[in-house]
Amino acid sequence: MTTFFVDMLGCCYDQMAHMSNVSPSANVLRNAQHAAPIGTHTAHICEATDAALSLTAQVVDGMSGDTDYPHGSIKVLATVGEFDKETGYMLVGVPDGMGAYLLNDETVRLIFQSESYGPINWWSNVKGEFDSYPFIVNNNGASFTGSHVMYVDYDRKLLAGFMEHEGAAAPMVKGAGNLIKNAYNLKGQMIGKRNPDGCSEAPHFSNTDPDGCNAGWNTIMNGNVELLGSEAVPEPSDADWVMQSLCSAHLEEKHQWGPGLGVEDDLFITNEEWTMFVGGSNYTGIPAHVVDLATGDAYATGVFTLGGFEKIVEINCGHPDFVCFSPSGYNGNFGMYGNPGGGEAEAARKNAMGLRPDGTEYVWTKYVVPSRIYVGKKGYNAKGEPANDFLSRNGLAHGQLYGFSTDIDVTTGGLYMDAFSKVAAPGTVVSGSFVPLDWMWDGEVKSFMHDGSWGFQHLTADGLTFWNSCGRDCAGSKTEHNSPDPYGGARYMQSSTAGHFGIFDFSGVAELLEGGSFPSKVPATYTLLQGEQDITAQIELGGKGMKANGMDQTTMSDRYSVDEEGVVSDSAKVTFEDIDGFEWIASAESEDGYVIIQEDGSNDFGERTFISKVETDGTPMTFYFIAQSGGDDNTRNKGGVGVPAGTNVGNFDASSAHEFSGVIDLSGMLAKKADGSFVIKAGDGKAKRDADAAVPVNDKIIAMGLQAHSLTGGIIQAFRGDRGGQVYAYKPKLP
């Protein structure tokens, strides 16, 4: 198998020999002993407790540590660095947003993307790594580096029985590959090759100005050495464009909420998360990308603004003529090269064009944003004209963006969202409305100075402010992850990097849409489930979750240190920190289901992930510890342990950066009737939702991802797979 692998890919990597001091073919041969087909590895990167405090754990490269997880069993579905045994296609890390659906009645297609940064991060150049291998799109040979969107196909019957034995996933893998075949830009053009000497006629606008110019990274992205000196970052040497940091994502099946309700095509919606621009240039911003699962066509869409996102999910409008989505995330997390003023300087540029409607000055947009919903009208293009192209058909070309607003003097004691979460009790309800932004996408590509991201600083028609994280004049924490009501209600859950989360309920929206136009407002409520408050007494570790310093994972250690006298300092943060993965899952025994919570808080001893039953009546939720991973003071990570072996080479400064990321409930697709046949057939999203809800939590199989940023060497480096990670199957075992 190794010989086949080298023969299959050696020619491709010979063409990229200049990218490394050692030729890629030599790297392949050096690391060939760790090359394996997808699903071969059974060893875990994650662990139940630190190896130094476990009686069974090993500190051996390529092997598991403590896998005696307290609240369920975990098995490996795929590992970054593995390849398709038929085609040689290699998985790229670090795995992030994901989804799954029935490709046919015999096959479960698992889709996940890499959160890869391409050449725009400093470590891509300083370290000489982390620039993922290019993928080709379109029939014109245009190519992207950076993030990839991949699929792995699994035999449905074998996957249904996967948690019943100790064997590897490899026998049930049917194939893998790159999901995106063709890519279209914000103007609807098939993206072409980059012209390094001028303007490109069909650019990837995330890398250019609205005219498609400076695509050679001269002034828009990354930098001209003469202009920026040491701050300059080279353009991608083996690709035309950078698909920058695809983060979380969601898979939406046709009519998943009922007959005629929801999108008209099966799709995977993803988004560029953050990026770098040269301050003062006419950068466009970064959009969402929607992939047609039937064709592999990816379409950039501007309807959610161009401020970048963490996650965008479909929620239920309850009306066949409209779709609803909840976009969540950054609202302008753009680094500014060559601009010491950063966001303040960019806000000054905006103010020079005109102040806010009430005469006050704009601040930079980053994190100045509320929880949002989008209402799109099916069958209309960006100009509001009848159309049947992919985006128009699915309500993703013409629609209205709304933000949550409340009279804070009356409802929250004058507090915006972050401050409110620190003092309010679980179950506290805030009444308000989703009110329209005074901006709509019209299909015209403009500079970010004209984007709707600035509009969340405006007053509403009622003279109120949006309920932003901090207010209209300051950046709070990021409203990062969101998840739709899995039972199909007009609700979704919203989390924050501050560590709080709750439910937005906009029931009644269907009636407001009966007139065929966008509502002037959508009444809604927010119910706080967990504030940015002490959760230590709510965590159940089940006898595991020990940290290398002897403390346990009821606290999060983000500033651990040892001074010259050996005195240990542990910040022992008692709240959640940087919830960066979050999914609401239905179950048979609960009206409101369960949530999976995944942190990204720079935990020195390993990032945590939990599962919890949803309580909406004010009962404090119990957080059951699932697993931990990574940490720069974690025993296995410090010991150079990785999977595959040879990948933890200790040359990544942020070695603490492991992170569980991405969740999919597979249980409905794998549920069986009494006669052994499967409950649902392919192509019925509503039946899948119903089947998910009929499975008790302890009978579920849940897929979840793990990012392992410290795994950069070996087979991953040799094949430019970016950074490591795994995708797991998890079967809960809760009291």
pLDDT, averaged in runs of 10, over the chain (735 residues):
38 34 48 84 98 92 97 98 94 94 98 84 51 85 91 98 98 97 97 84 92 60 47 65 90 98 98 85 94 98 97 98 96 80 92 98 97 98 98 98 98 98 98 98 97 98 97 94 97 96 98 97 98 97 94 82 61 87 96 95 91 97 97 91 91 69 97 97 97 98 96 87 94 98
Which residue in 261, 297, 489, 298 sits closest to 378, CA to CA? Answer: 261
Q: What is the DSSP code (8-state) at residue 67?
A: -
Distances in whole angstroms, Cα of residue 682 to Cα of each of 158, 297, 686: 17, 21, 11
Q: What is the DSSP code (8-state) at residue 466?
A: B
CB of 602 closer than 8 Å to CB of 657: yes
DSSP reduced 3-state for 243: strand
Would you state the structure tokens that stand for residue 61, as one six-digit string? 């490269």
How far separated are the first and last CA of the chain, in Å rounded? 44
Q: Encode burial over 626-662: b for 16+ CB neighbours within 10 A, e otherwise.
A: bbbbbbbbbbbbbbbbbbbbbbbbeebeebbbbbbbb
- How far is it, in rounded angstroms, from Cα 335 to Cα 313? 26
- pLDDT confidence of residue 281: 86
Strands in 539-540's sheet, in edge-to-edge order, are: 539-540, 623-629, 607-613, 590-599, 579-587
- How far is it, in rounded angstroms, from Cα 25 to Cα 30? 9
- Burial class of residue 55, CB neighbours in 10 A (0-12, 13-18, 19+): exposed
Model confidence, pTM = 0.93
- How far is it, in rounded angstroms, from Cα 701 to Cα 77? 12
Question: At 391, which helix (H) or strand (E)?
Answer: helix 390-393
- Per-domain boundaries in the chain: 1-94+540-574+577-666+701-735, 113-152+172-533
- pLDDT confidence of residue 56: 86
- How far is it, in rounded angstroms, from Cα 142 to Cα 185? 12
